[in-house]
Amino acid sequence: MLQKIIETALRNKLVVALFTLAVIGGGYWSYQKLPVDAFPDVSPALVQVFTVTSGLGPEEVEKFVTFPVEAAMSGLPRVKEIRSVSNFGLSVVGIYFEEGTDIYFARQVVGERLSEAREAIPEGFGEPEMGPISTGQGLVLYYNLIDTTGQYSLEDLRSIQDWVVKYNLQTVPGVTEVLGIGGNVKQFQVNIDPDALLRYNLTLHEVIERIEANNQNVGGQFLERNGEMFIVRSEGLARGIDDLSGIVIAHEDGTPVTLQDVATVEVGGEIRQGLQTRNGEEEVVSGMVIKLYGTNSSTVIEAVEKKLAEIEKALPEGVVIDPYYQQKTLVQGSVDTVTNALLQGIGLVVLILLIFIGGFRPSLVVALSIPFSVLFAAIAMYYFDISANLMSLGGLAIAIGMMVDGTIVMVENTDRLLRGAPQEESKLHVIARACREVAQPITFAILIVVIVFIPLFTLQGVEGKMFRPLAYTVALAMFGSLIYALVGAPVYSALFMRKPKAKANADAPREIWIVRALVSVYRPLVTLFVRCRALAVGLSLALLVLGAWIFPKLGSEFTPRLMEGDIIANLSMAPSVSLEETKRNSMLAEKRLLEIPEIEQAISRIGRGEVGAHADPINSVHMMVVLKPKAEWREGFTQVDIENAMREKLEGMPGVQSNITQPIQLSVDELIGGSKAQLAIKLFGPDLETLKEQGDAIAAVVMDIDGAADVQAGQVIGSPQIVIRPDREAIARHGLNLSEVQELIEAAVGGVEAGQIYEGVQRYDIYVRYQEDARDTIEDLGHLIVRTEGGALIPLDEVATIEEVVGPRQIVRENNQRYLEIQANVVGRDIGSFVEEAQEAIDAEIELPAGYLVSWGGQYELQQEANRRLGIVVPVTLALIALLIYTSFGSIKNTVLILLNIPLALVGGVVGLWLAGENLSVPSSIGFIALFGIALGNGMVLVTYLNQLFREGKDIDDASIEGACLRVRPVLMTAGTTLLGLLPLLLATGTGSEVQRPLALVVIGGLVSSTILTLLVVPALYKWFTARPKPEIS
Amino acid sequence: MNFASQTLSTKPPRLRALLIALLALGLATGLRAEDDHDHDHEHDHADHGAHAHEDGEEEHDDHDHKDGDHEAHDEHEGHDHGHEEGVVELSPAVMGEFGIVTAKAGPGVLHEEVVLPGEIQFNRERVAKVTPRYTGTVQAIDARLADQVTQGQVLAALESTETLRPFDLKAPFDGVVTAYDVTLGETVEAGQPLFTVADLSTVWADLRIYQRDMGKITKGQSVLIAGGHDEATFRGTISYIAPVIDEHTRTGLARVVVDNHDGDWKPGQFIKGSVSIDEHRAPVVVPRTAVLTYEDQTVVFVQTDEGFEPRPIVLGHGDAASFAVQSGLKPGEVYVTRNPISLKAELSKGSFGGHEGHVH
């Protein structure tokens, strides 16, 4: 069949040329259309349900809101896990669906149950709503609104954010949500003087009713007059403070009592659960742009930027929008890193070709396979919806060297045969013969490379999402290269390559000098090995022992950390602190960080703003550190150095715990493990106090283990509460209802909304509450007066006890069980061994009460999952490959000989990792996988040729030496191209290079060792593995 | 593998074995990574099982030496971060940065007070209803509402319907006409009140006492009466406490006689009275900003040689700004008066007490 293909191609050269053009043209067009992301989106299929329940404590939120939502959501199809956080005033339930669930399907089923949950939540405790349709990488741009003139208040700026910037940005296609934080949400505050209520014999309830009743527009249908229709409407809306103040609350003997007689009305800021500060100087108003699920980051960011420029023009003079974080930089950095590596790789590969083949024409034929394969892959990527990102483009960069392998073998054989062909044989005939000779091994070699990547497609979860695109593009590009080798290479050889004609004196050196030089060194070596096979065995054994000795020294990790170029410092304060105290501390921390010369801005997001992306409590700070351009950094400073400098600065801040991470890392980590650290130890159990106690003990143990950094036990309790417990007897004695007392607490202390004021389309709440001095202290609360129906005036502390207690900060649950999380990062050693040691220590030192159990998560969890799967996938692949080789050679012995390449290649990869000080990780595992393919391919080509010579009747030893010498050029060339093609990835320092480096390292190291061994050991051992020249059907 | 060894029959068996071993080793190396991790995994599971203990023990033995190290380490840590002692060390620079202010404990005066709502009333002892002694006809009215009148001034002239003799209605004392109900030519009954004259040079401030405060309010206490907003204030004493409680509002009544020569106070006006319950001199008085709750105890942070430690104290009386300390803090000790929250937060970082980001 292969011969047919080659012959058909040679007969239809024009068609093949047009086909090539079509692929190249189509590929270029597809590449332009490809969505570009920083790296594959690894976020889980997750739907979040947010419920804002203003004023409720975590216990009530858990009981009345979180639980009904969880209950409604369990039992949904394809749900994997339900996690929840019950915070002060906010419940967030995360429903995790099985991998690969369509997000719109997930939202639909959640949406259907949401109404059920809504009914189960008591009236007035909030409306559950789904979060934005986005993922962990959805936060594409953060900006600050900065007033350069100093004349706008935080209320003004926030109004600009909420009603101008946000509204306009939300119209940008691909933007699903814009969330504001910081500043003050404008509000018309009615601060009631409780004494005035007593004076006029009013209740708070009556005041609220009055305000609502005096602030309405109504419609009165229409009137007809002389055939015209007039719509009747009444404008009764209050237009501002004056209107509000004038609302009549009561009549006293014909004298109206207006709102201003019992209250002061003013514009103020809403009660807030978060704010944003900048550079230790000021509070700012800020927004986050969230992109819609599945949209193209680069185009969305571009469109957002364009819109921002437009919006800025419409803002009041002096107010500017300062985008301080943009994923664009990261996207560009990542893509640049791999495109550079790709281009450099192409250059190096062409160089190798020129050196080894010597002629420009054959090199051109080979080089052409690179654009063909890459663009073929681009078409397929477009077709399969694979975005261009660090991983998918990285796959192409890895494959550069391998794409040319098939064609090299073909062209090399053609070149050799052309030189040696008799004059009378036509060029076309020689080419057809040459191609036929190697078509089968090439096809099998390339198929093996494709097959070794197939198991990667079965990877699940995060590692699957991360590395599948890489496997896809490698496989696609290799497939493209196979097409080119079989169809393109013969045709272009026929078109471009020439038979050496006139000067063809028979004995003229057929090889170029470099190959001759190589062979002159190689021949004695291979002869030595063939003659003295023990040497070959010894060398192999020595290498294997070396490998076996080094291997345990390697550490392991999930994925090397990708440097995003932006750093986030997470600060957490004591759970009891107020927002103002957090603000004070985080501004101090900002000042400290700005002392590091590489840091340009430090912007802290404290607590939470508009609900939808974050549910952080007010003692939690995410401080975005914006770095100066790399050129301005101190000599030799890296991001890690800066992070260490930051750790140093933040250390010794009393009452502040810190943890350093990066923006995307943070949001992805949050979505995946609900954890912000590499290692998350979860302690499950029912009682918060016990959880806290045991959690602290575990943290103490972990803290003492070598390499532990940033160890923190979750803050489940520690939030001070003032608990008002009505005394039922006292209430009964005074003839009160419990609700009367509690309404007072809710409305007087907490405040209630009583309608809105409209300013154009902007609407602001009217918020009624007792004035501050009446509810400021615990004593004031005791003095609140409850009025009975009979008119008796009873201070609150006569009918209730008021006490201070320490309550939960937040309640986190996983699958309906409360838990506490202890997080840690691991510095200077691999997580795997760290976890092992920590587990031992905890087993030994801590005895948990019944009903409490520990589970380990975070990055560690992912690593285990990946390893488990690879443990199944790798042997299966090996079996598959062995089968393929066996099909090709029909000999078990040959197959075994070729498989021998694998351990030898592994050794090189292991040594490579060890020398570079890298860890075993998912990328390095993928390197090993690729390595198998390449090493096997080389072995196959060689063994095929040896078989051929042997069948021609040569003596085994001579055939081994002769064959090896003849094959040294293609073997070195294919290995050399692959190696040099990867070199740029190895040496790259740009964004994302950290992830590709271990992969390149393994392949390069493995190639070196396997090439040496292919060339020396395989010929030497060939004798033992010869397929018996039994009477085949030949 | 079997098949391979058969075909190798021509070679010395040693070499064959070697080769097989080589292959096996090679493959084993290849799979080692996976084996290793499987191990991890099993171990992880074993953690929860009953099996775990045995495993753990065995390994514990293996690592005996290491554990010993850890214990030593522990002690060291304990000393360093000193949670057992619960002490926070801070440099003056950090204290300045975080606005942590200290002061020496010393004496002070506390003004304990209770704020009561109330209203201004007429001084009922200085209100007179002026009535005619005989039934008569009003001949002339000489005083109108709000007129200032002096003692003996004629308010109206009447003529008796029986005797037809004229007689006058006179003001009983200096005051203001606060009400009159009379028209010219009207015939009025004897004893029908025609004028109310009130002496507003003094008024009563009637304060409501809630049940809770009744024990604290006694006659003679000093009261600051304020009308709210920017109006005048008056300091007086409680001259009367009602012996009964108003059945309607369930509140008691305390009365202050207010001097009103300037006419600042109008009957019916709402006021607040701040009653000074007690004035204490205490040997140790701390501002409210110094006091925190830490581990269910009321504490102040005291500077010791090792650093700042939370000191449980017992609070005595307090006023709006300060507390008296009954015990726990001696005069002369240095304690934190402002921003002790930073110290509390540092201590509550967790029982491991270490600094964050601390790499061992």
Query: 10-residue block means of pLDDT along chain A (1034 residues)?
Result: 84 89 92 81 85 86 92 88 88 88 91 90 88 82 89 90 91 91 90 85 87 87 90 87 89 84 89 89 91 84 91 89 84 80 82 79 86 92 86 83 84 81 80 85 85 76 80 90 90 81 48 76 85 83 86 75 82 85 91 90 89 78 88 84 89 83 78 67 88 88 85 78 89 84 86 88 90 84 83 84 84 87 81 85 88 81 72 81 84 85 85 86 82 81 81 79 81 83 81 81 88 82 70 44
Comparing CA positions, the residue from B30, B27, B11, B24 lying closest to residue A1025 is B11
Report whether A569 contacts A593 (CB < 8 A).
Answer: yes
CB distance A713–B34 less than 8 Å? Answer: no
- Whether chain A has a CB inside 8 Å of the CB on B356: the answer is yes
CB distance A797–B212 less than 8 Å? Answer: yes
Measured on CA atoms in the order A930, A934, A935, A939, is the torsion positive or negative? Answer: positive
Scan for tokens 């074995």, then name that residue.
Answer: B17
Chain-centroid distance of CA A361 in Å reads 45
Q: What pLDDT is attached to residue A372?
A: 92
Q: What pLDDT is attached to residue A510?
A: 54
Measured on CA atoms in the order A189, A195, A199, A205, is the torsion positive or negative? Answer: positive
Distance between CA atoms of A770 and A315, rounded to whole angstroms? 36
Distance between CA atoms of A379 and A369, rounded to whole angstroms? 15
Q: What pLDDT is attached to residue A993?
A: 78
CB distance B29–A906 less than 8 Å? Answer: yes
Summarize pLDDT for B317-355 with one digit per residue, the tens: 888 788 889 888 889 899 999 888 888 888 876 533 333
Q: What pLDDT is attached to residue A169?
A: 92
Distance between CA atoms of A697 and A828, rounded to whole angstroms? 24
Summarize pLDDT for A766-786 with one digit per residue, the tens: 999 998 888 888 888 888 888
Say if pTM beats, i.e. exceeds, 0.95. Answer: no
CA–CA–CA angle A86, A90, A96 (5° rounding): 60
Q: Which chain A residues are Cβ-neighbours of B42 within 8 angstroms?
A: none
Q: Which chain A residues are Cβ-neighbours of B37 within 8 angstroms?
A: 556, 832, 863-864, 867-868, 871
| Mean predicted lDDT score pLDDT of chain B | 74
94-153 in chain B: CB under 8 A from chain A: 94, 97-100, 115, 117
Q: Which chain B residues are Cβ-neighbours of A700 within 8 angstroms?
A: 350-352
Token pair for B241: 């406490």
Comparing CA positions, the residue from B37, B86, B18, B42 lying closest to residue B294 is B86
Q: Which chain B residues are Cβ-neighbours of A551 within 8 angstroms?
A: 29, 32-33
Q: What count of CB pairs under 8 Å joins A to B? A: 238
CB distance B341–A870 less than 8 Å? Answer: no
Q: What pLDDT is attached to residue A33?
A: 83
Report whether A71 contacts A119 (CB < 8 A).
Answer: no
Q: Which residues does residue A800 pair with via DSSP β-bridges, in sequence order?
A: A726
Extended beta strands in A780-831, E state: 785-787, 793-795, 800-808, 811-814, 817-826
Comparing CA positions, the residue from A622, A556, A848, A822 lying closest to residue A708 is A822
Summarize pLDDT for B31-49 with one digit per residue, the tens: 333 334 444 343 433 333 3
Distance between CA atoms of B62 and B55, rounded to whole angstroms? 11
Count the neighbouring beta carbons within 10 Å of the beta carbon of residue A252.
Answer: 11
Q: What pLDDT is attached to residue B78?
A: 36
Distance between CA atoms of B87 and A829, rounded to whole angstroms? 32
Chain B residue with CA closest to A897: the answer is B23
Enumerate the H helices of B82-153 as residue ranges. Answer: 92-97
48-87 in chain B: CB under 8 A from chain A: 48, 52-53, 55-56, 59-60, 63, 67, 70, 73-74, 77
| Cβ-based burial of B64 (10 A; exposed 0-12, middle 13-18, buried ≥19) | exposed
Q: What pLDDT is attached to residue B25?
A: 42
CB distance B351–A696 less than 8 Å? Answer: yes
Token pair for B142: 């000489």
Count the neighbouring beta carbons within 10 Å of the beta carbon of residue A106.
Answer: 22
Band (pLDDT 50/70/90 cuts) for residue B60 is very low
Q: Coil, strand, or helix at residue A833? A: helix
- Whether chain A has a CB inside 8 Å of the CB on B210: the answer is yes
Comparing CA positions, the residue from A528, A347, A55 lying closest to residue A977 is A347
Report whether B336 contacts B102 (CB < 8 A).
Answer: yes
Summarize pLDDT for B234-285 with one digit per residue, the tens: 888 999 999 998 887 788 899 999 998 888 888 888 888 888 887 778 889 9
CB distance A840–B63 less than 8 Å? Answer: yes
Summarize pLDDT for A33-54 with one digit per residue, the tens: 888 887 787 778 889 999 988 7
Can you spell out the DSSP letters for A641-652?
HHHHHHHHHHTT
DSSP A772: G
- Whether chain A has a CB inside 8 Å of the CB on B215: the answer is no
pLDDT at B9 over 60: no
Report whether A796 contacts A785 (CB < 8 A).
Answer: yes
Report whether A643 contacts A567 (CB < 8 A).
Answer: yes
User: A969: part of which helix (H) or strand (E)?
Assistant: helix A956-987
